[in-house]
Amino acid sequence: MENLKIGTEGYLEKIVEYKDTAISYGSGLIEVFATPAMIGLMEMTAQLSVQGLLPEGYTTVGTEVNIKHIKASLVGEKVYAKTVLLEIDGKKLVFEVAAFDTKAQIGLGTHTRFIVHKEGFMEKTKSL
């Protein structure tokens, strides 16, 4: 885990599709980028930003999100997420997350992930 550094950044973009909309997710009745889809993009960006820095067999799992969705984005628009690793506390990683479309910022907040050994995590989960 010594490869992890405060300030590690992530970036990921996508084009909003119908499957990403509030109506498709069931979280609303409008064809705009769904809050759960935006959070998923933020989480994926954070996860990918550190995955290559972890030892073989390890990954991170999301445990907490504190997110504000501040602007709607339409189907067909490009959206992107940026993350910055703010804190490393043992296996706990805290990220600043932000999302944007081509016009403005659409979301912001923090996201916590924990480093886990994939096989051990799955074995423990199956035994619960």
Catalytic positions, please?
Answer: 35, 43, 69
State the Cα–Cα distance between residues 7 and 10, nearest whole angstrom.
Answer: 10
State the Cα–Cα distance between residues 63 and 16, nearest whole angstrom.
Answer: 25
Q: What 8-state DSSP symbol labels residue 102?
A: S
State the Cα–Cα distance between residues 95 and 97, nearest whole angstrom.
Answer: 6
SS3 content of the chain, % helix, strand, coil (to 5): 25, 45, 30
